Amino acid sequence: MTNEQLMQPRVLLTGPYPEMERHNLKVGDIIPVSDTGMIADKTQDGKAVFPIDHAIFPNLFRRLEWWEFRDEKDMPEYVRYGDWRQPHTIYRIVQYNPKGYNGLYPCAIAENNRVKDYFLPHFNNSFPATKEEYDNQKQ
C-alpha cells in the first residue's frame, strides 16, 4: 500500500441507520472519504449510489487515524515520528506489534541512524515516510 493510500481519509460505521442494508452497509464497515468530504456506500458499476456527509452524523461515523484497522502487510516500512525530543525523526520499522500498547494502539520497534530498537508506543504522532526521507535526515 502506498503512503498516499494510507493517508486517504476513512470512517468507521459505528451504528445503524435507516435503510443502511439497502445501501449495502453494515456496522463495522470501513468506508473511504472522497476529496469532497463525502462518503458513499458500496458502489454499483463503480458509481457511488448514496453519498453521505459523514460529518453531520458523528454518532454513526468515526473518522479513523491512518494506522487504525490496518493489516501489518499494509503498514509502511518508514514512519515520521514527531515526538517532543526529536521532531519529525524518520524511523525504519523493525517489527510491528498490531496488538499494541496496552492492547489499545499498534506499536513498533524501530531504528534510525542514531537509535537502535526504539519503541514507538503508538502511531498517534506519526505519518508514513519514505526511504529517501530516512536516508536524507540529518545524521
pTM value > 0.75: yes
Find the domain containing 127 and state its range: 72-136
Question: Do 34 and 89 belong to one domain?
Answer: no
Among 39, 63, 87, the domain boundary falls at: 63
Confidence grade of residue 96 (pLDDT, cut at 50, 70, 90):
confident
Among 12, 39, 63, the domain boundary falls at: 63
- The Cβ-side half-sphere exposure at 82, using a 13 Å CA radius, reads 7
Handedness of CA 28, 34, 35, 36 (dihedral sign): negative
Q: What's the number of domains the chain is made of? A: 2
User: What percentage of residues in the chain have a pLDDT greater than 70?
Assistant: 74
Among 63, 81, 104, the domain boundary falls at: 63
> Which positions ≥6 away from 73 have C-beta within 8 Å?
none
Question: Do 57 and 17 belong to one domain?
Answer: yes
Whether the per-residue pLDDT at 21 is higher than 90: the answer is no
Whether the per-residue pLDDT at 110 is higher than 60: the answer is yes
Residue in 26, 12, 128, 21 with CA at minimum distance from that of residue 81: 128
Question: Do 101 and 51 belong to one domain?
Answer: no
> Which positions ≥6 away from 44 have C-beta within 8 Å?
none
